[in-house]
Amino acid sequence: MTQNTSPSFSFEEAIGDFLVASRKCEVVSLERLLEAVQLVGRIRALVHQLQRERGASSLWIGSGGQRYADELAQYRAESDTTARAFREHLDGWLEPGACAHARSRLLGRMALALHGLSGLPSLRAEVSERTLSPMEAMRGFSELIRSLLAVVFEAADSATDPEVSRALVALLNFMQGKELAGQERAIGAAGFGQGMFDGELRQSLLHRIDAQERSFRIFSEFAPESACAAWQDLQGAGFAAEVERLRRQACTQGDSRGDSLSDPARAEIWFACATARIDAMKEIEDLLEMHLNECCSARITADRADLGAVRDRIAQLAESELRDSVPYAVFFGAPEGLDQEGEDDAVLNVPIVGHSVMDLVQRQATRLQSVEDELYAARQALAERKTIERAKALLIQHRGLSEDQAYKLLRQTAMNQNRRLAEVAEATVAMSDLLGKGGL
C-alpha cells in the first residue's frame, strides 16, 4: 500500500497550548483558594467572638440578670465589630466570573450562615429579656456558629492543593474541637451552677468530650509539628488537669446530689479553667492559620514560577523538535526517578531546562497523579466527617432523636459492633438510601 500516513492536520502545537492552559488553571484555582482561606480567617474571628458572647449570655441569664452584665455588653460590642468587618468582606464574593460548582456550594452555605447572623438581634433580645433558659441561649448561639463552621468545611472541601488541603483539615478540625470545648464549658457551667447533672445534661457533656477527642485526633494527623507540640503543652497545663478533674466529678457524681457538687464556687472554678483552656486553644488556632496562609502563598509563588518556566520552555522548543517523530506509545506510569524530579521542580522551584515536549507531558501526567494521591488522606478525613453529620441528621429527621441522642446511638452501635464511627455512619446513610425517605 502507499505510504499515505501523514494526516492533513497536526496536534503538535496544541500539546504545548494545553499544557500551559492546564497550569494556568492551576494557578487561578490556587488564587481562588487563597480567597477562601481569607474568608476562613474572618469566620474564625467571628466565631471566637460569638463563643465568648454565648458564654456570657448563658451566665447572665443563669445569674437571674444579676451578674456578667458588663462583660456581656462588652462581648456584644466586640462581636459587632468583627461582624462588621465580616460584612464588609462579603461583597467581593458576589462578583461574577469565578463560577464553579464548588463555589455555588460555598455561596449557598454562606447564605445559610448569613440567615443565621440575621437572627442574632432577636436572639440577643430574648437573652436580654431572659425569656430563654441558659441552655436555650447556648443552643441558639451554637446553631449560628454551626452554620458559620459549615462554610469553613465547604471551603476545605473545595481545596485541591494537597498541602493547603491538609492545613485546612487541621485548622477546621481544631476549630470544631474548640467549638465543642465552648459548648462543654456552657453545659458544665449549667450543671455545676444548678449543683447537679441529670441524665440528659451528662449525656450532652459526654458527647462533647468524646467528639472533641475525635476532632483533636484528626487535627493531630494533619497539623504541622509546631502546632502538635503546642497542643501537647496545652494538655499538660494546670487548667487542663483541673478540667479533667471536674469532668470526672460531673460524669460520676452528678446523680447522687452529693455535697461535692453543691458548692456554688465550683461553677466559677469550672468556668475559669474551661475558659483558660479555650483561650489557649485560640493561640494554637492562630498558629494553624499562619501555617495555612504560608502554605497557600508558597504554593502560589511556586506554581506561578513553574507556569512561567513551562511556558518559556515550550516557546523555546524549536519547531523542528516539536515536529520530530515522537514515539507512539504514551507511557503507562512514569519511569522511576522522573516522579521525584517532578515534585522537586514544583517544591524547590527549580527552573525546567532540557525537557522535551515528551518530558513536559510526562511531568504533567505524574503531577496530576501525585496531587491526587496526596489529596487522598485529607479528602478521606473530610468525607468521614460529612458522613457522620449526614447520619446524625438522618436519625434526627426520621427518628425524632436529639443531636446528642443520635450521636450516642451511632457511638454505641460502633462500640457494640467493634467498628469505626465512620463505618457505622456510612452504613446508616447507605441504609437510608435503600429504604427510601421514610425508611430509617
Q: In the complex with a second copy, which residue's Cβ is closer, 149 or 284?
A: 149
Residue 119 CA, chain-centre distance (Å), reads 24
Q: How far is the CB of 235 from a second copy (least distance, A)?
A: 28
Residue type, 42: R
d(CA 215, CA 154): 17
Nearer to a second copy, 117 or 240 (CB): 117
Identify the residue among 200, 282, 373, 435 touching a second copy (CB under 8 A): 373
Q: Is 338 in the site for a second copy (CB under 8 A)?
A: no
What is the C-alpha separation between 14 and 37, in angstroms, rounded?
34
Q: Is 347 in the site for a second copy (CB under 8 A)?
A: no
Nearer of residues 97 and 238 to a second copy, judged by Cβ: 97
Q: Name which of residues 132 to 171 contact a second copy (CB under 8 A).
A: 139-140, 143-144, 146-147, 160
Interaction residues for a second copy, span 164-193 (CB under 8 A): none
Pick the binder of a second copy from 101, 264, 265, 318 (CB under 8 A). Answer: 101
- Cα separation, 16 vs 322, in Å, equals 9
The full length of the chain comes to 440
Site for a second copy in 351-370 (CB under 8 A): 357-358, 361, 364-365, 367-369
Q: How far is the CB of 265 from a second copy (least distance, A)?
A: 25
Determine if 433 is a binding residue for a second copy (CB under 8 A).
yes
How far CA 279 is from CA of 61, 145, 272, 435, in Å, comes to: 23, 17, 10, 46
Smallest separation (angstroms) from a second copy to the CB of 84: 5
**Pairwise CA distance, residues 105 & 99, whole Å:** 10
Q: Identify residues 3-22 at the interface with a second copy (CB under 8 A).
A: 3-12, 14-15, 17-19, 21-22
Residues in Cβ contact with 182 at an 8 Å cutoff, skipping those fewer than 6 apart: 51, 54, 55, 145, 278
Residues 390-419 that bind a second copy (CB under 8 A): 390, 393, 396-397, 403
Does position 125 bind a second copy by CB under 8 A? yes
Which one among 34, 35, 38, 114 touches a second copy, defined by CB under 8 A?
Answer: 114
Q: Which of 272, 246, 134 is closest to 192 using CA atoms?
A: 246
Rounded to whole angstroms, how far apart are CA atoms 181 and 274? 8
Asked if 105 interacts with a second copy (CB under 8 A), we say yes
Bin 257: left if φ > 0, else alpha if -120 < ψ < 50, else beta. left
Question: Could you tell me the smallest distance in angstroms from the CB atom of residue 344 to a second copy?
Answer: 13
Shortest Cβ distance from residue 238 to a second copy (Å)?
34
Q: Does 87 bind a second copy (CB under 8 A)?
A: yes
Site for a second copy in 269-328 (CB under 8 A): 325-328
Instruction: Select from 63, 104, 235, 316 the one that contacts a second copy (CB under 8 A).
Output: 104
435 binds a second copy (CB under 8 A): no
Q: Which of 152, 147, 123 is nearest to 137 (CA)?
A: 123
Region of residue 335 (phi > 0: left; psi between -120 and 50: alpha; otherwise: beta): beta
**Eight-class DSSP state of 325:** P
Residue 66 sits in the site that holds a second copy (CB under 8 A): no
Instruction: Tell me how crowded residue 351 is: count the other CB atoms within 10 A of its CB.
Output: 11
Q: Are 145 and 61 in contact (CB under 8 A)?
A: no
DSSP 205-224: HHHHHHHHHHHHHHHHHHS-
Q: Report how many residues bind a second copy under the rule CB under 8 A.
A: 103
Q: How far is the CB of 54 from a second copy (least distance, A)?
A: 12
> Which amino acid appears at position 278 of this protein?
I
Contact flags string 24-53 toward a second copy, x per CB under 8 A: xxx-xx--x---------------------
Q: Which residues of 153-175 are buried (b: 16+ CB within 10 A; e: fewer)?
A: bbbbbbbbbbbbbbbbbbbbbbb
Residue of the chain from 63, 92, 118, 233 that contacts a second copy (CB under 8 A):
118
Nearer to a second copy, 330 or 350 (CB): 330
